[in-house]
Amino acid sequence: MGRLFGTDGVRGVANADLTAELALGLSVAAAHVLAEEEESGRSPVGQGRWPGDGRAFEGRRPVAVVGRDPRASGEFLEAAVVAGLASAGVDVLRVGVLPTPAVAYLTGALGADLGVMLSASHNPMPDNGIKFFARGGHKLADELEDRIEETYRGHASGEPWDRPTGVGVGRVRDYGQGLETYVDHLVGALPNRLDGLKVVVDAAHGAASRVSPEAFTRAGAEVITIGADPDGLNINDQCGSTHLAALRAAVVEHGAHLGVAHDGDADRCLAVDATGREVDGDHILAILALAMREAGTLRENTVVATVMSNLGFKLAMEREGIEMVQTAVGDRYVLESMKAKGYALGGEQSGHVIILDHATTGDGTLTGLMLAARVAATGRTLAELASVMEQLPQVLVNVPDVDKTRVGAEPELTRAVQDAERELGTTGRVLLRPSGTEPLVRVMVEAADIEHARAVAGRLADVVKSTLG
């Protein structure tokens, strides 16, 4: 039986892979593991007062913040998670539909013992997922996820839970101030206002449909909003950070200075400039790295990126005298590196950007605001700012329906990669990576010439299919 937790929580097709029973059981297990972890030093929120209204509750129970994106399946999964937590003696603050980084922020700001977010991020609507946050709003280390999974599997196989009764069961409250509290935090983090900017926001019919337009408006921008009418079924559907065509068209149509696009849970941000040209996570990192160095907040003069970052980003940072640290793919690994060394900025080409002074995880709305603030402060166009790096041609091919666990174990595939690397020499590179959230293998090839990159990527994708299919 494979590991339940992937690179970003537990994901699967809702009501098939990710059932109400699984959500409930994992929540009970998480309550036991994380409440144990935080038994000492619990804040006043966990000691008898509800945030917001000050009402007392019985005992010294742990507190959880629970949020979700607008997927229809999130409704029954939220009910299962809340039931599991309350049955384990955890008091629940239900914040409703909010971005993943909002749930992380509120978990820390309210002094809660854990947070739970129901979302499959950029995945299609039928999928859903469960992400847990530890005290302070931090993603869980592998060791904690393993303990939660071990606890869940142990009780699923027959070990009885220690169930509280009477006044020991958890209480559930709706926390309606979450959006206001989070937006105040976002706007307060900005170094300058956005007055005079026209910005298009594509919220992917997702969790940021209210938050992001509100934050940009309060910061002073004129906002045109698209993809902000979630109905539970249209999340990420031909919109948001995975489908930029609508954003490009809207920016050009409205004569906007820039556009920003989120994914379903708004932990990502991609952008387009005034001409509709994409500005990806590498460009955004480069722009923010220079802005933070100028402001004196780029600690250790270092930015953290992953092995998927374009070679052009690395060359740009070298030219600007900024150090670059590379990690495995996944914002959790970027964050681990940042926390270990005290770095302030890191992220991924996909648009996960972590600004550690203001967030504990990737925050798409915060990233978009900071990017717009740099445009406003410098008076330069986004295209001019993005020209700090020249992106080398990069081709990414997703090979679905293969056994991603066998990457690195098939000699024929290993030889094909080595042959490709010799062919590209010093002007390119190859990366094969199993997806952490989907049943596929990603083939990435960079080369000086786009046609060469496509040819190499196509050949490697065929070998992946034939050897792992």
Query: Binding site membership for Mg(2+): which residues?
Result: 121, 263, 265, 267
Locate the DSSP E strands across 85-203. 91-97, 114-118, 127-134, 138-139, 172-174, 198-202
* Whole-number Å distance between alpha carbons of 236 and 353: 19
H or E element: which one contains 364? helix 364-378
Selecting among 73, 121, 212, 337, the annotated active-site residue is 121
Entry field: residues in the chain: 469
Distances from the Cα of 434 to the Cαs of 5, 319, 439, 467, in angstroms? 14, 32, 8, 14
Helix (H) or strand (E) holding 271: strand 270-272
Could you give the C-alpha distances from 452 to 415, 424, 427, 456, in angstroms and in order? 19, 9, 11, 6
CA distance 228 to 51: 29
| Residue 130 and residue 103 in contact, taking contact as beta carbons nearer than 8 Å | no
Question: C-alpha angle 128/132/135, rounded to 5°?
Answer: 160
Active site residue 73: no
CA 353 to each of CA 123, 149, 289, 291: distance values in angstroms, whole numbers, following the listed order = 18, 28, 11, 14
Bridge partners (DSSP) listed for residue 400: 440
Find out whether 229 and 209 touch, Cβ atoms under 8 Å.
yes
Alpha helix ranges (H) inside 407-449: 411-424
- On the 0-12 / 13-18 / 19+ scale of CB atoms within 10 A, 391 is middle
Alpha-carbon distances, residue 147 vs 5, 20, 152 (angstroms): 11, 21, 8
Q: How many other C-beta atoms can be found within 10 angstroms of the C-beta atom of residue 36?
A: 11
Written as one string, the DSSP assignment of 79-102 is HHHHHHHHHTT-EEEEEEE--HHH
Q: For residue 187, give every residue at least 6 positions away whose Cβ sits within 8 Å of its Cβ, in sequence order, or none.
A: 215, 218, 219, 369
Q: Which residue has the tokens 């509709």?
A: 276
Helices (H), 279-355: 281-295, 311-320, 331-341
Query: Which of the residues are catalytic?
Result: 121
